[in-house]
Amino acid sequence: MLHKLRSGLSILGVVFGVAAVVAMSSVGEGARRETLAQIEALGIDTVTVRSRPTDEAALGLRSQDADSVRRVVPGVRAVAPVRLAELEADAGSRSAGVTVVGATPSYREATRLDLARGRFLADLDVSDRKRVAVLGASVAARLFPLGSPLGESVRLGGDWFQVVGVLESRASPRRRGAVVRARDLNRCVIVPLPSLDHGLDAREGGVDEIVFRVSTPEEVVPAAAVARSLLHRATGGASLEVVVPREILRQRERAQRVFNVVTGAVAAISLLVGGIGIMNIMLASVAERTREVGIRRALGARRRDVAAQFLVESSLLT
């Protein structure tokens, strides 16, 4: 109490040290949770195979390859061929840039899609090449802000589609710096895969990726290996990108451990600086109070009593 400024500065040093520990731990935990959210968006038991043809001899993925994956790859729960196209969606006087996803009804189970209203694609939509569409949450809000989009018409690349459903809103993945590339389904429009063969993206039977979901997360890695080998032969040697969330998670966790070590070291240094500050203050306090210590010793105080006095003071500051 006699040295309020000195005591206050000592406490302030410890406060900054502890604050550094809390801040570093929070940054590490926040990065970990964000990564887990990105992994969850892809699905921990979902594998995506994308085609990247390297030469003219490579055929690329085709919709028939999805049937091969269903028959050959063990543990497959749902598989869906997917074709993508970046187009402009128009509804009356409103328009929005969207990602058109040509898919089949199994795409819903393969990617865990939830509907806010209406229905998803049906087998009859695919077999009859119907012009129906399921809108993402952001697209529906942009094109139809004042009413329900069900039953309304949307023009995609010059062709008209009838809206039959709207997806539940999902947390949008960050485009820059994201560890995992996840598609923003909020700005997607899902249509039957064969409907893209007429005008929108005329590649009869061609697809950009095949998404399949296995029964348990433990089957993801072996199933991905079988699918890679199978599709590599089926496409005539095309370069394939196999996205396995479990492998990405392992790589990210290894980097996360390094990050935790670095941040922990910085926090430990901050605490050490604060502790050294307390030591210096207490050393000065002992040097200034030599007379007090001598009087206490002369009146019968033991060494442990004097040490306990200064230990209690430093502990109170800390």
d(CA 23, CA 177): 21
d(CA 111, CA 1): 65
pLDDT tens for the chain, 318 residues: list them.
777 887 888 788 778 878 877 887 788 778 777 776 666 666 778 888 987 655 554 567 888 889 999 999 988 999 999 998 889 999 988 999 999 999 999 999 988 888 999 999 999 999 988 999 999 999 999 999 888 999 999 999 888 999 999 999 876 655 444 444 567 888 999 999 988 875 555 566 788 899 999 988 778 889 989 998 998 888 777 778 888 877 666 766 777 777 778 877 877 887 788 778 778 877 887 888 889 899 999 999 999 999 998 889 888 877
Residues 6 or more apart in contact with residue 302 via CB below 8 angstroms: none
Nearest to 117 by CA among 147, 150, 154: 150
Q: Would you state the pLDDT for residue 269?
A: 82
Distances in whole angstroms, Cα of residue 184 to Cα of each of 19, 103, 115, 297: 36, 16, 15, 75
pTM, whole model, 2 decimals? 0.65
Q: How far apart are the first and last CA of the chain?
A: 15
d(CA 104, CA 123): 7
The dihedral over CA atoms of 266, 268, 269, 274, expressed in degrees to the nearest 10, equals: 130
Nearest to 317 by CA among 282, 287, 268, 293: 282
Residue type at 53?
Answer: P
Nearest to 70 by CA among 247, 278, 215, 238: 215
Which two tokens mark 73?
Answer: 């790859």
What letter would DSSP give residue 90? Answer: E
Q: Would you state the pLDDT for residue 112?
A: 86
Q: Would you state the pLDDT for residue 180?
A: 45
3-state secondary structure at position 13? helix
Q: Would you state the pLDDT for residue 166?
A: 95
Strand-strand pairing, 159-167 and 115-118:
antiparallel
For residues 53 and 211, the answer to whether their CB atoms sit within 8 Å is no
Whose tokens are 């949307």? That residue is 154
For residues 79 and 111, the answer to whether their CB atoms sit within 8 Å is no
Q: Would you state the pLDDT for residue 179?
A: 43
Sign of CA pseudo-dihedral 12, 17, 21, 23: positive
What letter would DSSP give residue 45? Answer: T
